[in-house]
């Protein structure tokens, strides 16, 4: 059993807009194993920013991969120091760790992280479902030694029952999937119910909405997101991973 460290390489052209896209990831296991993974669906990257020079970006990915592979002979390799070399609009996120990973589970654990942060690199059947995202959140919390409760039931105003997906620290977590063909009445009713719950909770929990949305430009989803954001400023799109969630729990 050992510690698996990873960091996501991202492109963020504007600090003001906050828009970013995942381009690659580096993994380091305490036995010395290292791996670099980069995207292959470059059309999606170009759709994000059509001013990018894709050949130059591919060359940058190759240079980083070569550097990771060359470091295999360096017993003093440090992932944090390695990632700190890149500090511009192209940068590595903070290094994160998942503990108690056996060598036998290493390949599967790395693939799970890749599926969470790079959904479109996998065919539809292998992309993470809500149960996979929930399980991954639990792993992150356990690695941070944060206690959580699964599907707790709370009592709100007027004795209404409020059932979260998870609670940890002072957060109550609810998952939403907005990737359907349209936002139907059932989904909107759930959104409105959670807006009411957020305003009528007795236990002072901060509502944390984790939603999966592949295309943030969809206008039909905007009303649902605006309702949720009106009652909580912690509504995070986890379609491209859990980096923003990790900022809350680190």
pLDDT digits (tens, 9 = 90+) for 48-101: 999 999 999 999 999 999 999 888 778 888 999 999 999 899 999 999 998 878
The whole-number average pLDDT for the span 200-216 is 88
The encoded tokens of residue 217 equal 């430009």
**Nearest of 25, 4, 21 to residue 12 by alpha carbon:** 21
d(CA 159, CA 125): 41
The whole-number average pLDDT for the span 157-178 is 89
pLDDT digits (tens, 9 = 90+) for 13-49: 876 667 889 999 999 998 889 999 999 999 999 999 9
The whole-number average pLDDT for the span 146-154 is 92
The whole-number average pLDDT for the span 180-199 is 87
pLDDT digits (tens, 9 = 90+) for 221-248: 999 999 999 998 789 999 999 998 998 8
pTM, two decimals, is: 0.90
Query: Exposed e or buried b for every residue in 170-203, given b needs 16+ CB within 10 A?
Result: ebbbbbbebeeeebeeebeeebeebbebbeebee
Residue percentage of the chain with pLDDT more than 70: 99
Phi, psi of 49 (to 5 degrees): -150, 105
d(CA 167, CA 228): 18
Give the model's pLDDT for residue 101.
85
Q: CB–CB of 72/104 below 8 Å?
A: no
Give the model's pLDDT for residue 2.
87
Q: Among 83-87, 142-146, 181-185, whose mean pLDDT is lowest?
A: 181-185
Give the model's pLDDT for residue 202.
78
Give the model's pLDDT for residue 200.
82
Q: How far apart are the first and last CA of the chain?
A: 23
Give the model's pLDDT for residue 247.
87
* For residue 167, pLDDT beyond 70: yes
């Amino acid at each position: 059993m050992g510690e698996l460290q990873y960091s996501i390489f991202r492109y963020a052209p504007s600090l003001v807009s906050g828009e970013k896209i995942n381009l690659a990831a580096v993994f380091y296991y305490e036995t010395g194993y290292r791996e670099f993974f980069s995207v292959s669906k470059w059309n999606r990257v170009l759709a994000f920013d059509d001013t990018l020079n894709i050949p130059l970006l591919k060359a940058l990915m190759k240079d980083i991969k070569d550097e990771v592979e060359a470091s295999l002979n360096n017993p003093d390799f440090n992932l944090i120091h390695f990632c700190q070399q890149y500090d511009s609009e192209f940068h590595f996120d903070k290094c994160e760790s998942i503990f108690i990973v056996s060598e036998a589970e290493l390949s599967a654990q790395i693939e799970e992280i890749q599926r969470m942060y790079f959904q479109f690199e996998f065919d539809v059947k292998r992309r993470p479902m809500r149960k996979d995202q929930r399980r991954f959140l639990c792993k992150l919390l356990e690695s941070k030694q944060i206690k959580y409760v699964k599907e707790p039931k709370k009592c709100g105003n007027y004795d209404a029952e409020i059932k979260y997906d998870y609670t940890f620290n002072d957060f109550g977590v609810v998952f939403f999937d907005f990737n359907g063909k349209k936002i139907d009445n059932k989904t909107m009713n759930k959104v409105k119910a959670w807006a009411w719950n957020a305003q009528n909770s007795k236990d002072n929990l901060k509502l944390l909405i984790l939603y999966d949305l592949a295309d943030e430009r969809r206008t039909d989803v905007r009303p649902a997101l605006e309702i949720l954001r009106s009652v909580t400023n912690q509504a995070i799109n986890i379609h491209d991973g859990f980096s923003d969630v990790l900022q809350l729990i680190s």
